[in-house]
Amino acid sequence: MTQPDPPIPRRAVSALLSRYPMPARIAGRLLLSFVLLWASSVLIFGGIEVLPGDFATTYLGQSATPQAIANIRLELGLDQPVVTRYLGWLAGIAQGDFGRSWASGQPIAEQLGHRLGNSLLLAAAAAAIAVPLAVGLGIVAVIFRDRLIDRLINILSLAAVSLPEFFIAYLLILVLVVQHPVAAFPATIYGGMSLFEKLHTIALPVATLVLVCIAHMMRMTRAALLNVLSAPYMETATLKGLSRLRAIFVHATPNALAPIINVVALNLAYLVVGVVVVEVVFVYPGMGQYMVDAVTVRDLPVVQACGLVFAAIYIALNMIADVLSILVNPRLRHPR
């Protein structure tokens, strides 16, 4: 019994996807990213709503009267249903309005802009050092595979992966600030500095982030290059007299870009999203410190805004990595 032909719209869509695979995949990634961001907003808002405790009680103290607590809840809109508050919050965010901080009464968007700029400066400085250094060390490890340099790089990377970021941060403070002061590195960072002063004072947080994320990128670069070098066409090229350096730089590296891009994007997302511990250790006025301070006083709008911004950055970087992986794929660039 023959299967019925698919409907005309489905066949048209299938023909369009097969004819333009790269734009179709990119559009799919963009749509998936928006869906993930919306799902993240639901989880963030709902997760914070189910947390125990109450801002009104925390703000007024245990001796507050029920009437005073009810007045605060009415003023902040906490007496409304959860769905109504979520839709209002989402509508405000769509217009760039994250609301006001319950603790300070200031607009959250203004604080987020300043704090996010500080966190991005920290992450950008760490990425500018970690990414080229990790990729370079991965290539060096492949060139000197199974030799002393390769083994030394692998041992040091495993040691860096094994140490948590707070331990590395306190170790750097102990050695470079307390015991052996170098270039007057401060243990804490404050606002009101010029760009040059900030670059000098963030040296220790940047060093912490570099040591934390460099190992994973280096090991993934090494593994991706070795996987390409073991392919049959690379072995054939080597047997025909292609030099090892030319095989690595000209042929293996371009074909290993997709996994390298993915792991770099994941680590860049960590540099922005995972800076909470480092910012708290160094009292850095960034998003992580802002979020921790808000959690302490149960300033829920600030916590929700920070969580959504972190989720948006993480999803955006992963989306960019997916798009770049599609663009560097020769099978999608030249489907015929």
- Nearest alpha carbon to residue 223 among 263, 185, 280, 181: 263
In which residue are the tokens 């692998």 written? 154
| pLDDT confidence band for 183 (50 / 70 / 90) | low
Give me the number of domains the chain comprises.
2
Beta bridge partners of 100: 107
Q: Which of 63, 94, 125 is the last residue of a domain?
A: 94
Would the pLDDT of 218 be above 70?
yes
Read off the pLDDT of residues 74-124 as tens digits, 9 standing for 90 and up.
777 777 888 888 888 888 888 888 888 887 778 888 888 888 888 888 888
**Tell me, what's the pLDDT at 154?**
85
The total number of residues shown for the chain amounts to 336
Give CA–CA dist 310/274, Å, rounded: 9
On whether the CB atoms of residues 244 and 143 are closer than 8 A, the answer is: yes
More confident residue, 137 or 12: 137
Give CA–CA dist 295/303, Å, rounded: 6
More confident residue, 8 or 147: 147
**Tell me, what's the pLDDT at 35?**
92
- The reply to whether 227 and 137 lie within a common domain is yes
**Per-range mean pLDDT, top range of 38-47, 52-61, 211-220, 257-266:** 38-47
- The reply to whether 195 and 88 lie within a common domain is no
**Tell me, what's the pLDDT at 292?**
87
**Tell me, what's the pLDDT at 150?**
86
In a domain, 85, yes or no: yes
Lowest mean pLDDT among 12-16, 85-89, 148-152, 265-269: 12-16
Query: What sign has the CA pseudo-torsion 200, 204, 209, 211?
Result: positive
- The reply to whether 119 and 202 lie within a common domain is yes
- The reply to whether 179 and 220 lie within a common domain is yes
Give CA–CA dist 23/21, Å, rounded: 6
- The reply to whether 229 and 115 lie within a common domain is yes
pTM: 0.77
- Domain of residue 240: give its range: 108-333
Q: Which of 65, 94, 123 is the last residue of a domain?
A: 94
**Tell me, what's the pLDDT at 188?**
57
**Tell me, what's the pLDDT at 77?**
75
Q: What is the mean pLDDT of residues 53-82?
A: 72
In a domain, 42, yes or no: yes
Give CA–CA dist 275/310, Å, rounded: 10
Lowest mean pLDDT among 57-61, 73-77, 239-243: 57-61
**Tell me, what's the pLDDT at 110?**
85
**Tell me, what's the pLDDT at 318?**
84
- The reply to whether 67 and 163 lie within a common domain is no
Q: What is the mean pLDDT of residues 279-299?
A: 84
- The reply to whether 82 and 184 lie within a common domain is no
SS3 240: coil
In a domain, 7, yes or no: no
- The reply to whether 73 and 115 lie within a common domain is no
Q: Which of 67, 94, 121 is the last residue of a domain?
A: 94
In a domain, 4, yes or no: no
Mean pLDDT, the chain, whole residue set: 79
- The reply to whether 208 and 68 lie within a common domain is no
**Tell me, what's the pLDDT at 38?**
92
**Alpha-helical segments (H) within 6-107:** 8-19, 21-49, 55-60, 66-76, 82-94
More confident residue, 72 or 3: 72
Read off the pLDDT of residues 140-176 as tens digits, 9 standing for 90 and up.
888 888 888 888 988 888 888 788 888 888 888 888 8
| pLDDT confidence band for 227 (50 / 70 / 90) | confident
Q: What is the mean pLDDT of residues 220-233?
A: 82
More confident residue, 39 or 335: 39
